[in-house]
Amino acid sequence: MEYLDLYLIHWPMSLKPGPPTFPIRREDVVPMDSKGVWGAMEECQRLGLTRAIGVSNFTTNKLDELLQFADIPPAVNQVEMNPVWQQHKLKEYCAERGIHITAYSPLGGRGRVGNNTLMDCQVLKEIAAAKGKSLAQVSLRWLYEQGVSFVVKSFNKERLEENLEIFDWELTDDERLKISEIPQKKRIYAEAMLSNDGSLHAVAISDIDIVEI
Protein backbone atom coordinates (compact mmCIF):
# COMPACT_ATOMS: atom_id res chain seq x y z
CA MET A 1 0.00 0.00 0.00
CA GLU A 2 1.16 3.49 -0.74
CA TYR A 3 -1.35 5.17 1.53
CA LEU A 4 -4.16 4.44 3.99
CA ASP A 5 -7.67 5.79 3.56
CA LEU A 6 -8.06 6.38 7.29
CA TYR A 7 -5.64 6.11 10.20
CA LEU A 8 -6.98 6.10 13.78
CA ILE A 9 -5.63 6.43 17.30
CA HIS A 10 -7.07 3.25 18.82
CA TRP A 11 -7.45 4.44 22.44
CA PRO A 12 -6.62 7.72 24.20
CA MET A 13 -4.03 5.83 26.20
CA SER A 14 -0.26 5.27 25.91
CA LEU A 15 1.94 2.42 27.07
CA LYS A 16 5.64 2.31 27.88
CA PRO A 17 7.70 1.37 24.81
CA GLY A 18 8.44 -2.35 24.50
CA PRO A 19 6.75 -5.57 23.44
CA PRO A 20 3.00 -5.39 24.13
CA THR A 21 1.50 -7.65 26.79
CA PHE A 22 -2.12 -8.62 27.17
CA PRO A 23 -3.73 -8.03 29.58
CA ILE A 24 -1.85 -4.75 29.79
CA ARG A 25 0.30 -4.31 32.92
CA ARG A 26 -1.08 -1.40 34.90
CA GLU A 27 2.37 0.01 35.52
CA ASP A 28 2.92 0.18 31.72
CA VAL A 29 0.15 2.76 31.25
CA VAL A 30 1.66 6.25 30.95
CA PRO A 31 0.10 9.65 30.30
CA MET A 32 -0.55 10.16 26.62
CA ASP A 33 1.22 13.01 24.86
CA SER A 34 -1.94 13.85 22.93
CA LYS A 35 -0.45 16.92 21.28
CA GLY A 36 2.66 15.06 20.12
CA VAL A 37 0.70 12.02 18.90
CA TRP A 38 -1.87 14.11 17.04
CA GLY A 39 0.89 16.24 15.52
CA ALA A 40 2.48 13.05 14.14
CA MET A 41 -0.90 11.90 12.81
CA GLU A 42 -1.33 15.25 11.06
CA GLU A 43 2.13 14.89 9.55
CA CYS A 44 1.11 11.47 8.14
CA GLN A 45 -1.81 13.14 6.38
CA ARG A 46 0.32 16.04 5.11
CA LEU A 47 2.83 13.55 3.71
CA GLY A 48 0.03 11.72 1.87
CA LEU A 49 0.54 8.51 3.88
CA THR A 50 -3.12 8.59 4.84
CA ARG A 51 -6.09 10.34 3.27
CA ALA A 52 -7.75 11.05 6.61
CA ILE A 53 -6.97 10.76 10.32
CA GLY A 54 -9.21 10.08 13.26
CA VAL A 55 -9.60 8.63 16.72
CA SER A 56 -11.33 5.77 18.47
CA ASN A 57 -12.80 5.42 21.96
CA PHE A 58 -12.60 9.19 22.51
CA THR A 59 -15.13 10.71 24.92
CA THR A 60 -16.36 14.30 24.52
CA ASN A 61 -13.76 15.33 27.15
CA LYS A 62 -10.96 13.72 25.17
CA LEU A 63 -12.19 15.34 21.94
CA ASP A 64 -12.38 18.74 23.68
CA GLU A 65 -8.74 18.35 24.68
CA LEU A 66 -7.67 17.31 21.16
CA LEU A 67 -9.58 20.06 19.38
CA GLN A 68 -7.74 22.70 21.41
CA PHE A 69 -4.52 22.10 19.51
CA ALA A 70 -5.53 20.17 16.36
CA ASP A 71 -4.77 21.85 13.05
CA ILE A 72 -6.63 19.03 11.32
CA PRO A 73 -9.70 17.94 13.31
CA PRO A 74 -10.36 14.19 13.48
CA ALA A 75 -12.48 13.00 10.55
CA VAL A 76 -13.83 10.03 12.49
CA ASN A 77 -14.38 8.80 16.04
CA GLN A 78 -14.85 5.00 16.07
CA VAL A 79 -16.74 4.00 19.23
CA GLU A 80 -18.94 1.28 20.66
CA MET A 81 -22.47 2.06 19.48
CA ASN A 82 -25.61 0.01 18.96
CA PRO A 83 -29.21 0.02 20.29
CA VAL A 84 -28.03 -0.98 23.78
CA TRP A 85 -25.32 1.70 23.87
CA GLN A 86 -26.74 4.60 21.88
CA GLN A 87 -24.14 7.33 22.55
CA HIS A 88 -26.61 10.25 22.41
CA LYS A 89 -24.29 12.82 23.96
CA LEU A 90 -21.27 11.88 21.85
CA LYS A 91 -23.35 11.70 18.68
CA GLU A 92 -24.65 15.24 19.19
CA TYR A 93 -21.20 16.54 20.10
CA CYS A 94 -19.59 14.98 17.00
CA ALA A 95 -22.39 16.13 14.68
CA GLU A 96 -21.89 19.74 15.83
CA ARG A 97 -18.18 19.52 15.04
CA GLY A 98 -18.32 17.59 11.77
CA ILE A 99 -16.73 14.44 13.23
CA HIS A 100 -18.18 11.30 11.66
CA ILE A 101 -18.99 8.40 14.00
CA THR A 102 -18.24 4.81 13.09
CA ALA A 103 -19.95 2.26 15.32
CA TYR A 104 -17.95 -0.74 16.44
CA SER A 105 -19.57 -3.82 17.98
CA PRO A 106 -22.77 -2.88 16.11
CA LEU A 107 -24.20 -6.27 17.09
CA GLY A 108 -22.83 -6.16 20.60
CA GLY A 109 -19.64 -8.02 19.68
CA ARG A 110 -21.11 -11.44 20.16
CA GLY A 111 -17.91 -13.38 19.43
CA ARG A 112 -15.98 -12.18 22.45
CA VAL A 113 -18.37 -12.83 25.31
CA GLY A 114 -20.76 -15.62 26.22
CA ASN A 115 -23.81 -13.43 26.72
CA ASN A 116 -24.85 -10.51 24.58
CA THR A 117 -27.20 -7.83 25.87
CA LEU A 118 -28.07 -6.78 22.35
CA MET A 119 -28.78 -10.22 20.87
CA ASP A 120 -30.86 -11.07 23.96
CA CYS A 121 -32.83 -7.79 23.87
CA GLN A 122 -36.57 -8.54 23.94
CA VAL A 123 -37.57 -5.21 22.35
CA LEU A 124 -35.31 -5.89 19.35
CA LYS A 125 -36.56 -9.49 19.13
CA GLU A 126 -40.17 -8.30 18.97
CA ILE A 127 -39.46 -5.63 16.34
CA ALA A 128 -37.52 -8.13 14.24
CA ALA A 129 -40.32 -10.73 14.43
CA ALA A 130 -43.00 -8.16 13.52
CA LYS A 131 -41.02 -6.93 10.51
CA GLY A 132 -39.84 -10.32 9.25
CA LYS A 133 -36.23 -9.15 9.65
CA SER A 134 -33.41 -10.52 11.78
CA LEU A 135 -32.45 -8.86 15.05
CA ALA A 136 -29.06 -8.07 13.49
CA GLN A 137 -30.75 -6.28 10.59
CA VAL A 138 -32.91 -4.21 12.96
CA SER A 139 -29.81 -3.17 14.89
CA LEU A 140 -27.85 -2.26 11.75
CA ARG A 141 -30.82 -0.42 10.23
CA TRP A 142 -31.15 1.61 13.44
CA LEU A 143 -27.46 2.59 13.20
CA TYR A 144 -27.86 3.49 9.53
CA GLU A 145 -30.79 5.74 10.40
CA GLN A 146 -28.65 7.46 13.04
CA GLY A 147 -26.37 8.67 10.22
CA VAL A 148 -23.33 6.74 11.41
CA SER A 149 -21.31 4.11 9.58
CA PHE A 150 -20.53 0.78 11.22
CA VAL A 151 -17.97 -2.00 11.10
CA VAL A 152 -19.91 -5.22 11.51
CA LYS A 153 -17.94 -8.44 11.49
CA SER A 154 -18.93 -11.93 10.38
CA PHE A 155 -17.02 -14.98 9.16
CA ASN A 156 -20.22 -16.41 7.70
CA LYS A 157 -21.16 -15.72 4.05
CA GLU A 158 -24.94 -15.81 4.63
CA ARG A 159 -24.69 -13.42 7.57
CA LEU A 160 -22.43 -11.08 5.59
CA GLU A 161 -25.16 -10.91 2.94
CA GLU A 162 -27.91 -10.55 5.54
CA ASN A 163 -26.06 -7.59 7.08
CA LEU A 164 -26.16 -5.75 3.74
CA GLU A 165 -29.91 -6.11 3.34
CA ILE A 166 -30.93 -3.08 5.35
CA PHE A 167 -31.33 -0.37 2.73
CA ASP A 168 -34.77 -0.91 1.16
CA TRP A 169 -36.93 -0.75 4.29
CA GLU A 170 -37.10 1.41 7.40
CA LEU A 171 -38.12 1.41 11.04
CA THR A 172 -41.43 3.01 11.99
CA ASP A 173 -41.65 5.93 14.44
CA ASP A 174 -43.13 3.56 17.01
CA GLU A 175 -40.20 1.14 16.60
CA ARG A 176 -37.69 3.99 16.87
CA LEU A 177 -39.40 5.13 20.08
CA LYS A 178 -39.25 1.62 21.55
CA ILE A 179 -35.55 1.36 20.67
CA SER A 180 -34.87 4.76 22.27
CA GLU A 181 -36.26 3.37 25.55
CA ILE A 182 -34.00 0.28 25.71
CA PRO A 183 -31.94 0.25 28.95
CA GLN A 184 -28.34 1.18 28.16
CA LYS A 185 -25.29 -0.98 28.83
CA LYS A 186 -21.73 -0.36 27.67
CA ARG A 187 -19.61 -3.44 26.95
CA ILE A 188 -16.01 -2.39 26.38
CA TYR A 189 -14.01 -0.57 29.05
CA ALA A 190 -10.29 0.28 28.94
CA GLU A 191 -10.12 -0.93 32.54
CA ALA A 192 -11.04 -4.45 31.39
CA MET A 193 -7.88 -4.61 29.26
CA LEU A 194 -5.64 -4.13 32.31
CA SER A 195 -4.18 -6.88 34.49
CA ASN A 196 -5.70 -7.23 37.95
CA ASP A 197 -2.40 -6.95 39.79
CA GLY A 198 -0.05 -4.01 39.94
CA SER A 199 -1.01 -0.40 40.39
CA LEU A 200 -2.06 2.28 38.02
CA HIS A 201 -0.22 5.53 38.31
CA ALA A 202 0.16 8.81 36.47
CA VAL A 203 -2.94 8.38 34.33
CA ALA A 204 -6.61 8.11 35.19
CA ILE A 205 -8.37 5.35 33.30
CA SER A 206 -11.58 6.80 34.72
CA ASP A 207 -11.03 9.78 32.43
CA ILE A 208 -10.97 7.43 29.44
CA ASP A 209 -13.83 5.29 30.63
CA ILE A 210 -16.25 8.08 31.49
CA VAL A 211 -19.75 6.84 30.74
CA GLU A 212 -21.63 9.43 28.72
CA ILE A 213 -25.27 8.77 27.93
Ligand X SMILES: NC(=O)c1ccc[n+]([C@@H]2O[C@H](COP(=O)([O-])OP(=O)(O)OC[C@H]3O[C@@H](n4cnc5c(N)ncnc54)[C@H](OP(=O)(O)O)[C@@H]3O)[C@@H](O)[C@H]2O)c1
Closest distance to ligand X from the beta carbon of 14 (Å): 15
Please tell me whether residue 26 binds ligand X under the rule CB under 6 A.
no
Please tell me whether residue 194 binds ligand X under the rule CB under 6 A.
no
Stretch that binds ligand X, among 17-25, 101-109, 120-128, 177-185 (CB under 6 A): 101-109
Angle made by CA atoms 181, 206, 200, in degrees to the nearest 5 = 150
The values of phi and psi at residue 58, to 5°, are -95, 130
Closest distance to ligand X from the beta carbon of 104 (Å): 3
DSSP symbol at 42: H
Cβ neighbours of residue 52 closer than 8 Å, sequence gap 6 or more: 5, 6, 7, 45, 75, 76
Please tell me whether residue 153 binds ligand X under the rule CB under 6 A.
yes
Please tell me whether residue 78 binds ligand X under the rule CB under 6 A.
yes
DSSP for 195-206, written as a single string: -SSS---SS-HH
Please tell me whether residue 151 binds ligand X under the rule CB under 6 A.
yes
Please, which of residues 35-54 interact with ligand X by CB under 6 A? none
Closest distance to ligand X from the beta carbon of 150 (Å): 8
Closest distance to ligand X from the beta carbon of 139 (Å): 8
The answer to whether 103 and 79 have CB atoms below 8 angstroms apart is yes
Please tell me whether residue 159 binds ligand X under the rule CB under 6 A.
yes
Distances (CA, A) of 157 to 110, 149, 153, 154: 17, 21, 11, 8
Binding footprint of ligand X on the chain (CB under 6 A): 10, 56-57, 78, 104-111, 134, 136, 151-156, 159, 162-163, 188
